Structure 1
């Protein structure tokens, strides 16, 4: 029998009307704005009192081409909690068109653990990313126009830090020139494009606590320097109101559902390798307000999204997770242990044993925060009982339960054991201990991340970053939280260095201040803020029939 694709499974599922999902969530008709039959915006603040439930954070080991299925496990866990009688609400990130059209394909889960309507969520959804792209590029146009119209602020065109953005992987736009065509076409200058999910506006949207906070954060954005190296903010340009206006709908979280009817709030989508990797504070707070359990995810591995959730998002959210779920697969661990990608369906306990060190580093780094950890072993048909047993016995060394999850094939029914384990873990006391002290400077923060979270040795600053650090310290920016932009594939800054390497250094080549978001980005290794498309992009497999049926998203 031919196996159904994810999109075929989703298209064969009868979805409930969004008004029914809203009612199940505890939302009134006045608290949602339907976008068709199966999507809605949530109007905040909610009328009911804020009595938050328990927060469950799902993250993973370092991802590999073998796939970990973190989002699939997150969705399945939400369905599984509902199966065992718990009132669970999902809080997820929105997919970016970059990976959808590029290497990854769709990003709404898989098999029978999906959020839907998956085509709409994977494509334009409710327009949030378009609004962010437009707002960012409007700000860029206003900067260039200010220079063209006399440059009263004395902006140095060589030191404009705001980049234009696009929500697609386009390497040709990483470095470009604007203003060509003579005096009427602006000041010629070098410019750059980032992918929308790496923009500061995306981070601001995801960390803002309300519309007032959104406006304040936008006005604090540093967008350029003057000829005498003084910072210029959006407030200096007097356009913060216009930029916020373009985000008036994008700030509202989106309500959809899983294939099993579990309410899912999807909002914001910063990548965790080049941004902070968490969905919006507003979405997570709304899920906490509506559910006894709010299940959320942080992008890529615990070394990226997990750390950033705990060190950047939690202080704004005001609530730490009650439990952390670490997703791992037999296949990925064997790859980390040296087995070839083509051989991962072949049992290899030696490679698995070696690769378990990667899982161990992530367990230790998450336990450092004094939060209970559960390992979810995302099931594949090639897994053997001996391989599963080896993972479970390894996790016992850390006093951590390791539970199989088979949500891809069975939906919520395949995650009830995991759901019970998570409920038990969430009943344990949490003594959340932040990694950072309030007075830690950027170097101290970077060193703690490298040694405690990555298991590395030292931080090495390249000359440009050293000069920046001295300048930023004079401006009082050296105590900001730190967002490390690093490859997701390795605990180090070298993508091919798998497993759990030791005695390695992390090289920071550049700092990027994000005062509106409230943190400093550190670019490490060869990380890029505008990805490129692969040789065989996922877009090659996509189509739409004459009667409007979409195929090939995943």
Structure 2
């Protein structure tokens, strides 16, 4: 059966009763969205402040390939397995974006028998959080142009507006646009553009904010433009926009509760991409899980060089979170792809290619265990085509590096297929103390932070930028030099070339653009040809998605 067919056959329990049964959350603190989705009130979350935190487990992966890795699937399967072993565990996931759902990647609710449900709802609109973020973002866009149209009292230089518009869809035609056409009644003519909602600074703010007050203050700090002197910033609060924006996000800031196929609680909240944003679910969701359970399992987007790096250097640095262990997900198929095997040949045994592709996993392991000082276990997301010789080779090579490599079969068997992985993770979490450290110091100059990420984690020889970009970095250094870096880079490679597989070394990372995300509290460094508005593939997933006459959705995956 397909993922959606498995999900549609699930026996779900009403979320209100399940949340009270599993976590003790009183019904009056849950806002139901139908029978199987609910938001938790911030008042209830604030009442948990004095409770002891559980242990935090981070799930990350090797550099992604078209063969698939299964990070979300592993997060769900591991959580179900730990609950099967009697360990009170909550999974924290990101919300899917409609862009990839209708594009190439598909949904983000797990797969096989390790899914969160209701799958169709989660992948399509969910509780409206992304809609609220998009509307709040575009309200600010509209207020900028409206202010200029009505006299421009703030002296905004229309050539130096840094705030784009957003839409939650892959639409390359919107990357560069012109607004204000049609004469004076429609405002002033100027160039503009769209990013995808997940790249919005408001998405990042929502994911990092800890309260309504913090949210509103961060929204007010957003720099939207500069005056003609090129140095005086215009903030969202100067336009009196932040109050209305916060009002639009009143419900979106509340975490969403759903369940797995095995009726265990998962929190899905926030959804920035790790290749163009910081790639983590909300701080509120993660901290809630730590208060409500003995173990919280969270994922970070794409490979460990992107999602895990930002989870550790941005999210953990800002929130005080500290993971106790890391699960690094890989597949035999993906590692053979990194070893040079064509996609159509990945089901055939190829030990030579596997050995070559292992370099990708090895570098991610080094980054996690050496650069961050975190204990790690490798989880091989099992495919039926994996040969015993291939599995044995992977386990042997991981053992030589002092790391346990576990085969997990949660896709086919649910939580039962990940019990060995769960036992290994619990052994690490309960008996080893991590020596966690960030990969760069907060007081390091911005240029040096970018270079440290590039050389230490990507294996680059160094970084480069045009004189214009270097000047912009130097200007940001004066006021924002303490900010962490959010790298925007292709997820497919350690380099900026998506075709460079394995573990390329000695390359140069070109920083094409830098953006200030003052409300979020970081600097975005865009490397290579990375776009903050993706495009659809030649044959988008949207062509396969349909709905029957009786309302059954098909084609989602």
Give the structure-2-normalised TM-score. 0.98
Q: Residues 519-544 of structure 1, C-alpha deviation per residue, up to 9 Å, x if partnerless?
A: 00000000000000011000101111
CA distance in 1, matches of 2:416, 2:348: 27
1:431: Cα distance to partner?
1.9
SS at 1:278's partner residue? coil
Residue 526 of structure 1 is matched in structure 2 by 529
Write out aligned runs for 1:146-545 (5 A): 146-229=147-230, 230-367=232-369, 368-427=371-430, 428-474=432-478, 476-545=479-548
Task: State whether residues 472 and 514 of structure 2, in contact with CA within 8 Å, keep that contact through their aligned partners in structure 1.
Answer: yes
Structure 1 residue 417: Cα displacement? 0.3
Query: How far does the alpha carbon of each residue in 1:468-488 deviate from its partner, in whole angstroms, 9 at most, with x for none?
Result: 1122234x1223100000000
Give the conservation status (yes or no) of the 8 Å contact 2:63–2:492. yes
CA distance in 2, matches of 1:438, 1:65: 36
C-alpha offsets along residues 295-341 of structure 1, whole Å, 9 cap, x if unaligned? 00000000000000000000222121000000000000011011111
| Cα distance in 2 between the residues matched to 1:340 and 1:400 | 29
- The residue aligned with 2:82 is 81
Equivalent-residue separation in structure 1 for 2:54 and 2:28 (angstroms): 23
SS in 2 for 1:300: coil
SS in 1 for 2:25: coil
Structure 2: unaligned runs, 5 residues or longer: none
Give, in whole Å, the separation in 2 of the partners of 1:473 and 1:339: 44
| Segment drifting more, 397-406 vs 481-490 | 397-406
Q: Secondary structure at the match of 1:156?
A: strand
CA distance in 2, matches of 1:250, 1:464: 38
Q: Deviations over 1:327-383 (max 9, x none)?
A: 000000011011111111110100000110100000000112111101000000110
The secondary structure found in structure 2 opposite 1:126 is coil
SS at 1:299 equivalent: coil
Contact map agreement 2:443 2:481 (CA 8 A) in 1: no
SS for the counterpart of 1:510 is strand
- CA–CA separation in structure 1 for the residues paired with 2:17 and 2:412: 26
Secondary structure in structure 1 of the residue aligned to 2:309:
helix
State the 1:435 CA deviation: 1.4
Contact 2:446–2:477 at 8 Å: present in 1 too? no
Task: Name the CA distance, whole Å, in 2 between partners of 1:373 and 1:303.
Answer: 15
Q: CA deviation at 1:30?
A: 2.2
Once the 2 structures are TM-superposed, how far is the Cα of residue 142 of structure 1 from its aligned partner? 0.3
Q: How far has the Cα of 1:31 moved from its partner?
A: 2.0
Three-state SS of the structure 2 residue aligned to 1:440 is coil
Shift of 1:463: 2.6
Q: Does residue 15 of the first structure (1) align with residue 8 of the second (2)?
A: no
Quote the Cα distance in structure 1 between the aligned partners of 2:254 and 2:206.
10
| Counterpart-to-counterpart distance in 2, 1:397 and 1:522 | 36
Instruction: Give the stretch that moved more between structures: 38-47 or 507-516.
Output: 38-47
Unpaired runs of 5+ residues, structure 1, are none
Secondary structure (helix, strand or coil) at the match of 1:526 reads coil
Q: Distance in 2 between matches of 1:234 and 1:50?
A: 36
Deviation, structure 1 residue 393: 1.1
Contact 1:266 1:283 in 2 (8 A): yes
- Whether the 8 Å CA contact 1:285–1:317 is kept in 2: the answer is no
CA shift, 1:27, in A, is 1.2
CA distance in structure 2 between the aligned counterparts of 1:189 and 1:219, rounded to whole angstroms: 24
**Counterpart position of 2:41:** 43
Matches within 5 A, 1:134-149: 134-149=135-150
- From 2, 14, 34, the equivalent of 1:5 is 2
Q: Is the 8 A contact 1:441 1:480 kept in 2?
A: no
In 1, distance between residues paired with 2:138 and 2:191?
Answer: 15
- Cα distance in 1 for partners of 2:449, 2:26 equals 44
**Can you list the C-alpha shifts for 1:140-190, whole angstroms capped at 9, x where unaligned?**
000000000000111011111111000000001000000111111101100
Query: After superposition, where does 1:91-130 map in structure 2 within 5 Å?
Result: 91-130=92-131
CA distance in 2, matches of 1:413, 1:281: 29
Residue 286 of structure 1 deviates from its aligned partner by 0.6
How well do the aligned residues superpose, as a CA RMSD in angstroms?
0.9
Kindly state the Cα deviation for residue 443 of structure 1 after the two structures are TM-superposed: 1.2
Contact 2:17–2:27, Cα closer than 8 Å, also in 1: no
**Cα offset, 1:72, TM superposition:** 0.5
Shift of 1:508: 0.2
Separation (CA, whole Å) in 1 of partners of 2:468 and 2:80: 48
Question: 2: CA distance between counterparts of 1:398 and 1:305?
Answer: 23
- Select which of 26, 29, 54 maps to 2:27: 29
Normalised TM-score (structure 1): 0.98
Structure 1 SS opposite 2:437: coil
Kindly indicate whether the alpha-carbon contact (under 8 Å) linking 2:204 and 2:272 is maintained by their aligned counterparts in 1.
yes
- Residue 42 of structure 2: SS of its match in structure 1? coil
Looking at structure 1, the residues matched to 215 and 180 of structure 2 have their Cα atoms a distance apart, in angstroms, of 31
